[in-house]
Amino acid sequence: MAEKDKWKHFSRGAMAGGLAAILFQPFDVIRTHQQGSFASRPNLTVRESVRRLASESGVTGLWRGTTPTLLRVCGGAGLYFSTLHQLDAQNLNVLGSFCAGAFARSFAGFVMSPLTVVKARMEWAAPSHDKGAILAEMRRMAAEHGIRGFYRGIIPTLLRDVPFSGLYVTLYSRLKASVVCADEHRVAANFACGIVAGVVSTIIVHPADVVKTRMQLDAQAITVRATLRRIYVEEGPRGFLRGVVPRVFKRTFSTALTWSMYEYMSSRT
């Protein structure tokens, strides 16, 4: 594939992902607070999370960590879509689509892992400790944990993102192919297909998201096995569903919007 074509798909993915990230960042912040309050507020609800964030730093508190989110999502979405296009994921069979989506997400997820950790810490940080600067947070992480700190939670991150992307690409491509509609309704139809694929995929992989956030925020959460055991002992099975509501809303709508925008831009050129 020509180098120019690669950059077209990278830029389309970056623009689509960036807009979706800004719009739905509050859901991610709420989810991080629900999952991170395992010690102080084990039963923190969505409404309580919103009130707590608003009282601490106003409405803007719902957009904590937007800068690292944008850098991570724009870079990650660009890599993801350019890789998927190279693999021609939507024209493969079911197994091929799953593997293509899984590979594209694991590649992008590993490259962007340092920004994922920074994002979680900046979303969680109290205003007095949130410097609002990525470099300051990265220096703090390096001082506390060394280089390994930038890859805290990488295993549950991949366990979340790889099957999610594989499931999403497979469901989305099959649903989209099964829907017959006029061209003027194609964007809306694609968005609806993305919603269905996103809800199913997000719920299935959500426990890995809980483990990922706990490992990124809790210094005592060293290994995946120990973190799984601790969550189960302290909270039972319900602990693995912490933050599932905002996560489903954010992941479902942002992914559906990103894919719809990406395909719309691709169809116009």
Is 22's pLDDT higher than 90? yes
C-alpha distance from residue 31 to each of 11, 13, 14, 50, 244 (Å): 28, 24, 23, 10, 7
Query: Of residues 2 and 22, which shows the higher confidence score?
Result: 22
Which pLDDT band, with edges at 50, 70 and 90, does 130 fall under?
very low
| Residues whose CB falls within 8 Å of the CB of residue 227, separated by 6 or more in sequence, listed in order | 156, 211, 214, 215, 218, 221
DSSP string, 225-240: HHHHHHHHHHH-GGGG
Q: How confident is the model at residue 87 (pLDDT cuts 50, 70, 90)?
A: confident
Cα–Cα distance for residue pair 231/206, rounded to 1 Å = 14
- Of 195 and 133, the one with more pLDDT: 195
Q: Tell me, what CATH number does 136's domain have?
A: 1.50.40.10
Q: What percent of the chain has pLDDT over 70?
A: 91
Q: How far is CA 217 from the centre of its chain?
A: 16
Residue 228: the pLDDT is 92
Looking at residue 237, its pLDDT comes to: 92
Calpha distance 209→109 (Å, rounded): 13
User: In this structure, are residues 198 and 251 in contact, taking their beta carbons and an 8 Å threshold?
Assistant: yes
CB 21 within 8 A of CB 69: yes
Q: Distance between CA atoms of 257 and 269, rounded to whole angstroms?
A: 19
Q: What is the pLDDT of residues 213-269, one digit of tens each?
A: 888 887 776 789 999 998 999 889 999 999 999 999 998 999 889 988 988 888 776
What is the pLDDT, as a whole number, of residue 175?
Answer: 92
Residue by residue, what is the 3-state secondary structure of 19-34? HHHHHHHHHHHHHHHH
**pLDDT above 90 as % of the chain:** 21
Query: Could you tell me the residue range of the domain that residue 168 belongs to?
Result: 1-267
Which pLDDT score, from 0 to 100, does residue 140 have? Answer: 85
242 closest CA partner among 195, 197, 208: 208
Total number of domains constituting the chain: 1
Res 128 pLDDT > 50:
no
